[in-house]
Structure 1
Amino acid sequence: MPDSGDIHAVKASPRADSQVRVYAVPPRKGATPVEIVDGFLEAMTSDDANFATARTYLTPETSQKWRPEASTTVLEAAPSSGQAVTGGRDNPGIDYPLFGKQVATVDNQQAYQPVTPTDYRRTIHLSQQNGPDGKEWRIDNLPPGLVLGVSDFQRSYVSVNKYYFASGRSVVVADPVYIRQRLDPVTRMDPVTQSVKSLLEGPTNWLKPVVESPFPTGTALKEGVKTLTFDDRNALKVPLNDKASNVGRPQCIKMAAQILFTVKDVTSTRVEQVEVQRKDGSQLCVLNGGQAEEFAPDRSSSPNNQYFVDSRGQLATLPGAAKDIDEPENVPGPFGNGQLQLSAVGVARDERTAAAVSKDASKLFVSSIISDGELGDAVVESKGKDPAHRLSAPSWDGQGDLWVADRDPAHPALLRLEDGVGAPQNVKIIPGLDGAHIDALKVSADGSRIALLLAKDGKTTLKIGRVERQGPKDEPVVSVAELRPAAPQMETVTAVSWAGPSKLVVVGKESGGVQQVRYMQTDGSSLPASILPGLTQVKAVTATGDEARPLVAYSEEDGIVRLPAGANWQTLVKKGSAPVYPG
């Protein structure tokens, strides 16, 4: 507890509670200007149809122009109104300044965009209007869209993934957006229907360059559809407009897969199948959950084992499905028999091959972990002056390509080895890193995104980049574009791992805070109740998209530990490091 420092009054909306409903109240007769401002700010947090009550605080002209669905400004706390300023002859009425600390914006594509916390200051202007009971104060100028505190935002909105296909490949990629938790005030659509509508409108601008959608241009839900419901067999029927009426079956199957992956993230109901319908109600195609799995990023394998570097510098494994803690076993081959001492490892997603960095971090080797053999030549070498400035831990994407960073300040590079055996290809980052260098990396299972830990001026930040492939399919030119912050509230990040299609587990700390292990979305938003307590001095962490698999971490204090669902941290191995799941 702090025992010194100044005391500051803080105005904040209450802790988010998804069960709380806010019912807006219209202005009373003869309401004062400050009552109008406070009433409107409160009414913005409600769910009433088309924000009808909030509009009663506005002049008719302003109400007609106001588009609350266009954007949402997210503040650390509910916006505060300042001291009223009376206008002069050229500006009759009253100005009320709005104050806050902005942390994010949600744009008209429902994409969350975090910002470094910055001072927010806008103005609400009121003027007197003629009403049935005489003059009354109303708002005639206001900030665009909605302005909400974080807790009100989390109470009203929920993050969902909509899915598109990676360009040129039959693998889906998650595109996170925020929709209303209940009926959308403007469209009056339920969450499932909102998600499908957003899917049909296309990917967000950030992801668009690396994905594609088989839905024909202009495809939308059948006019008048506000609710998509499940039948008694948990099948969802989705009627579309005429734009999709003549698609072929292979194309329709992909469309159905996109819908199925999207809606299964929204509803607690298990989605057994999706039926895509024409405008007249006739069937275009049907796809069940099992058939959709052929498009999943990890369809080739489901990681069963946890791997780590043991106290002798050798690669060891533990059965991931075991409820009890078993003795680890070294893998076959040069990584497990002592031919090479390791500092870090990356296991291919098929669990047949691994890439390992030598103990001094100068060389990267690739070898089988299912059969014995001799250690081959290094596939990558670094000339950095010490281990901290040599090779990072490697990572495998869902296509079987191997990624690693050379942290040598004189020759920094992000390298990709096709199928883990090709010549190292230098991957360009566009735009550049502005003086930062890559400290660690993790590639997503779909191969379309990469998480980078970037070090600069003694701090390490987490950013997500888009992996772009151009040119011939058999010899593409690969680059990483448009890095964006994924943990903007953290001053420094120690470790990161993918924990789902758009979810990360991050180890780091906020300015002036203590180390945290928490879940984050790839768009930079924080999941409610996402902080995992009870672990300190964490240096590495690993997870999978399968929630049944435990989170595994390396703590300097506790060794290799894991966190099974619904349980506490368990020590697996007291002496060991660099835990990884395949990937």
Structure 2
Amino acid sequence: MIRRSRPMLLLIALLTALATVTGCAAIPDETPAQGIAAGDAGGKAAPVPDPAPGLQPADLVRAFLEANADPTSSYAAGRPYLTKAAQAKWQPASSITIIQNTYNTLPDQTKPDHAKVLLTTQIIGRLGADYAFVPASAPNALTIELDKQDGQWRISSPPPGVYMTLDRFNEVYRQTRVYFLDPQKRVLVPDLRYIVAQPASTLPGRVIDLLLAGPSDAMQGAVTSALGRDAALETGGNETGDGAVLVNLSRPGDTGSPGNVKLMIAQIVQSLAVVTNNRIRVEVEGTALSPERLDWRVGDLPAYDIGTSPGPDLTGLLVQDGRIKQLADGKPLNGPAGNGSYVVQTAAQSIDGTELATVSKPGANAELRVGGLTQSAPVVDLTATTLTRPTWVSADSATDPSNEVWTVADGSRVARVVKSADGTWVARPVNSNDLSQFGQITDLRLSRDGTRAAVIANSQLIVCAVVRTPNSDTVALRSPRLLLPDTLTSVVGVDWLLQDQLVVATSSPASPVVQVAADGDPVFNRYNAANLTAPVTAVTAAPSRPVIVVDAGGMWTSSDSGSVWRVQGGVNVGRGSSAVPFYPG
């Protein structure tokens, strides 16, 4: 059997892609089953054509960038563009750099048998060894040298690793979700990855490889797995012949606990649901992992989303003119938050709807109050001139209220306010040193599963992992990633639409509202700007809810990115309003 080590994961998976890449594969209908075997090659590769004869140096470099993106047979398509000496030294699997579709290849020097081409590009990211996208933004210039070989130009000094355009990246790779667990093992958490799209028959095996290798670098410490560190995929998986995909494991970890076994199966089945519609058969060395059933579908699993989505009866609230009102009908909330006693600037409702955190500023300092939704609440001992809109951590169970809410004091000090045993709310620091490089923080929103934080700093969007040290009160924000820095330059608001999807409001008339992935995938959706009047000043989003924004003209709602924005009914928000709508979370 083979245990695939994480550093080799990228190389092994690419070496198994033995059919010409033609684009992203659709999920196939249920087909005759096959076992997922480690290192399944999937057939022989087709012969690789030579470059067109007579290509000039700059044209050859462009043709090489197109060909070298194909990972089939250890990037065989790119090798004919290199001199024989360069072919022996080229290490394409060492790194994958993604560049803008438009780039320049400028002849820098040409002699009868030697030439130089200046390749100038804009880097937008790279694919890590963990198969996760790592956003970046940097101009890049490389001098590529070429020599004549048998009368034809060939590259003698190729770029390091593989350089590919965004279009080619989207042709060769497809996005998938690998599912892990929050630290309390209550919620399945998606971890975005990118796998070679062809051949489609090998997709399940690649997904399982990623699952067994553990979380991506960006999510280290924020999520965990029910599968043991030594879990491996058995070699030589057998075809069952009855329409199930077989996942045959060895050393899966703790199989003595029925609850942990169910979590293992949930991670496997949910991860594979992205790439196959077949039933999933999970075994340990040929024996069913669970005595409960042999084959599994997503519908057979319990709901692993406790406290991550507000109930249908919680329609949202609104801060307007210092009062908190119902978003559905504009009626003030009962109690001091709704009658004007607090003069609320901003607020947040817990995901279960029972608690409320408000920010007011009656004097020089801001005040944070946390308590029951309609009850009077004391001021938390947290001295600050400014406090960002609070954001709630989900409850530990479906029947418990949340006991933790976050805010940012004076643009730099991230605080988590925790309910103590005697019922008082106490502020504790969050280690946010990794965020100091980005400047003043004006907003922070926790994902509703509690594993990620979206941060607005210096009008840009950053996503980081929420890392809780086991058996400790220490919490830190780690692995910050600056998302779409060339596009999102005037961010004013953000909220979580899904566990790994954000809705972002900007003051830009060109892109007032956009939906972006939590990993900074450069392919994103711009919401239809029809009816919006810049600048947008506030946004709220939640699963299975319309997105709501406030702009210079009022408050608007949209069910999807292609729809025209419509006036939010039930409450009158006039032009130039500073109203702040918010869903629970």
Q: Report the TM range for the smaller structure's normalisation.
A: 0.7 to 0.9
Distance 1:531 1:44 in 2: 34
Name the residue aligned to 1:355: 357
What is the CA distance between 1:41 and its match in structure 2? 2.0
C-alpha deviation, 1:107, in angstroms = 1.8
In the aligned structure 2, how far is the partner of 1:38 from the partner of 1:104? Answer: 19
CA distance in 1 between counterparts of 2:342 and 2:242 reads 58
Q: 2:581 corresponds to which residue? A: 579
Q: Give the counterpart letter for 2:452 in structure 1.
A: R
Deviation at 1:194, TM superposition (A): 2.8
Is the CA contact 2:254–2:260 (under 8 Å) kept in the aligned structure 1?
no
CA offset at residue 145 of structure 1? 2.7
How far apart are the structure 2 equivalents of 1:423 and 1:230?
Answer: 59
Would you say the 8 A contact 2:528–2:565 is kept in 1? no
Which of 184, 188, 206 matches 1:194? 206
- Find the residue that maps to 1:257 and give its secondary structure: helix
Give the corresponding residue for 2:283. 277
Change (3 A) 1:463 1:295: same
Amino acid at match of 1:561: W
Secondary structure of residue in 1 paired with 2:221: helix
Contact 1:365 1:380 survives alignment (8 Å): no
**Correspondent of 1:364 among 362, 368, 373:** 368
Q: Say which structure, 1 or 2, has more relative contact order (CA 8 Å, 6+ apart).
A: 2
Alignment of 1:165 with 2:185, yes or no, is no
Amino acid at match of 2:522: S
Does residue 115 of the first structure (1) align with residue 136 of the second (2)? yes
Equivalent of 1:451 in 454, 457, 465: 454
CA-CA distance at 1:434 after TM superposition: 4.2
Q: Is the 8 A contact 1:467 1:480 kept in 2?
A: yes
Partner of 1:176: 192
What is the one-letter code of the residue matched to 2:552? E
**Secondary structure of residue in 1 paired with 2:189:** strand
CA distance in structure 2 between the aligned counterparts of 1:242 and 1:471, rounded to whole angstroms: 27
Return the match for 1:540 from 526, 532, 538: 538
Could you report, residue by residue, the CA deviation over 1:18-47 in whole angstroms, capped at 9, with x for unpaired residues?
A: 699xx9853245655455333322223457
Q: Is 1:147 paired with 2:189?
A: no
Tell me how far 1:407 sits from its aligned partner: 1.9
Alpha-carbon contact 1:293-1:299 (below 8 Å) kept: no
- Structure 2: how far apart are the matches of 1:58 and 1:228? 41
Structure-1 residue corresponding to 2:399: none
Please tell me whether residue 379 in structure 1 is matched to residue 380 in structure 2: yes
Give the 3 Å change call, closer, same or farther, for CA 561–224 of structure 1 in structure 2. Answer: farther
Among candidates 260, 263, 267, match of residue 269 of structure 2: 260
Query: What letter matches 2:521 in structure 1?
Result: S
CA 1:436/1:135 → structure 2, altered by over 3 Å: closer, same or farther?
Answer: closer
**Partners of 2:261 and 2:86 in 1: CA distance:** 44
Determine helix, strand or coil for the equivalent of 1:258: helix
Structure 1 runs of 4+ with >6 Å offset? 16-20, 227-232
Letter in 2 for 1:402: V
Once residues 230 and 254 of structure 1 are traced to their aligned partners in structure 2, the CA distance between those partners, rounded to angstroms, is 27
Q: Is 2:223 the counterpart of 1:211?
A: yes
- Give the match for residue 340 of structure 1: 342
- Residues 193-221 of structure 1, C-alpha deviations (whole Å, 9 max, x = no match): 43332222221222113322232334343
Mapping of 1:216-255 within 5 angstroms? Answer: 216-223=228-235, 237-244=245-252, 247-248=255-256, 249-255=258-264
Structure-2 residue corresponding to 1:306: 315
SS at match of 1:277: strand
Structural mapping, 1:470-485, within 5 Å: 470=469, 472=471, 476-485=473-482
| Structure 2 letter corresponding to 1:462 | L
Which residue of structure 1 aligns with residue 16 of structure 2?
none
Aligned length: 517
1:424 has 2:427 as partner: yes
- 2:415 corresponds in structure 1 to 415
Q: Quick one: structure 1 residues 140 and 256, their matched pair in 2 at CA, closer, same or farther if it must change by over 3 Å?
A: farther
Partner amino acid, structure 1, of 2:267: Q
**Secondary structure, aligned partner of 1:468:** strand
- Identity within the alignment, %: 24
Cα distance change of structure 1 residues 72 and 224 upon mapping to structure 2, 3 Å threshold: farther
User: 1:538 and 1:32, CA in 2 relative to 1: closer, same or farther beyond 3 A?
Assistant: closer
CA displacement, residues 510-561 of structure 1 (integer Å, 9 cap, x when unaligned): 7xx74521011222223344444222321111111x2x32111122312x22
Q: CA deviation at 1:266?
A: 4.5
Select which of 489, 492, 497 maps to 2:490: 492
Distance 2:438 2:127 in 1: 29
The alignment status of 1:82 with 2:106, answered yes or no, reads yes
Shift of 1:283: 1.7
Distance 1:31 1:557 in 2: 57
Alpha carbons 1:47, 1:183 under 8 Å: kept: no
**Contact 1:110/1:178 (<8 A) preserved:** yes
1:555 aligns with 2:551: yes
Q: Could you tell which deviates more after superposition, 394-403 or 34-43?
A: 34-43
Question: TM (normalized to structure 2)?
Answer: 0.78
Q: Work out whether residues 100 and 165 of structure 2, in 8 Å CA contact, stay in contact via their aligned partners in 1.
A: yes
CA-to-partner distance for each residue in 1:84-110, whole Å, 9 max, x for gaps? 53579xxx7433332211121222222
Matched, 1:106 2:133: no
CA displacement at 1:416 relative to structure 2: 0.8
Q: Please tell me the residue identity of whatever aligns with 1:344.
A: T
Contact kept, 8 Å, 1:463 with 1:487, in 2: the verdict is no
CA distance in 1, matches of 2:319, 2:183: 40
Q: Which residue of 1 aligns with 2:117?
A: 96
After superposition, the C-alpha distances for 1:392-413 in whole angstroms (9 at most, x for unaligned) are 11100224210112227xxx52
Q: Is the contact between residue 445 and residue 454 of structure 2 (CA under 8 Å) also seen in structure 1?
A: yes
When residues 311 and 432 of structure 1 are mapped into structure 2, their CA distance, relative to the original with a 3 A threshold, is: closer
Q: Find the residue that maps to 1:254 and give its secondary structure.
A: helix
- When residues 38 and 305 of structure 1 are mapped into structure 2, their CA distance, relative to the original with a 3 A threshold, is same
Structure with the larger strand share: 1
Distance 2:268 2:198 in 1: 19
Q: Distance in 1 between matches of 2:87 and 2:485?
A: 35
Q: Distance in 2 between matches of 1:562 and 1:17?
A: 35
1:301-340 CA distances to partner (integer Å, 9 max, x unpaired)?
546433233545332234xxxxxxx634433333234443
For residues 114-169 of structure 1, give each alpha carbon's deviation from its aligned partner in whole angstroms, at most 9, with x where no partner exists: 223x221223333344xxxx554433331133212223323433333222223354
Q: What residue in structure 2 maps to residue 391 of structure 1?
A: 387
Supply the distance in 1 between the matched residues of 2:253 and 2:239 (Cα, whole angstroms): 19
Alpha carbons 1:24, 1:43 under 8 Å: kept: no
Distance 1:294 1:555 in 2: 37
Displacement of 1:563 in angstroms is 0.7
- Separation (CA, whole Å) in 1 of partners of 2:377 and 2:467: 31
Structure 1 residues 301 and 101, CA gap change in structure 2 (3 angstroms): closer
What is the DSSP-based 3-state SS (H/G/I as helix, E as strand, rest coil) of the residue aligned with 2:478? strand
Q: 2:63 aligns with which of 16, 39, 43?
A: 39
Q: 1:246 to 1:40 in 2, by over 3 A?
A: same
Change beyond 3 A, Cα 1:407–1:299: closer
Asked whether the 8 Å contact 1:494–1:540 carries over to 2, the reply is yes
CA deviations on 1:1-31 (whole Å, 9 max, x unpaired) are: xxxxxxxxxxxxxxx99699xx985324565
> Displacement, 1:349?
0.6
Deviation, 1:351, is: 0.9
Q: Distance in 2 between matches of 1:581 and 1:229?
A: 47
**TM-aligned CA deviation for residue 49 of structure 1:** 5.2
Q: Secondary structure at the match of 1:376?
A: coil
Contiguous gaps of at least 5 residues in structure 2: 1-21, 27-46, 396-401
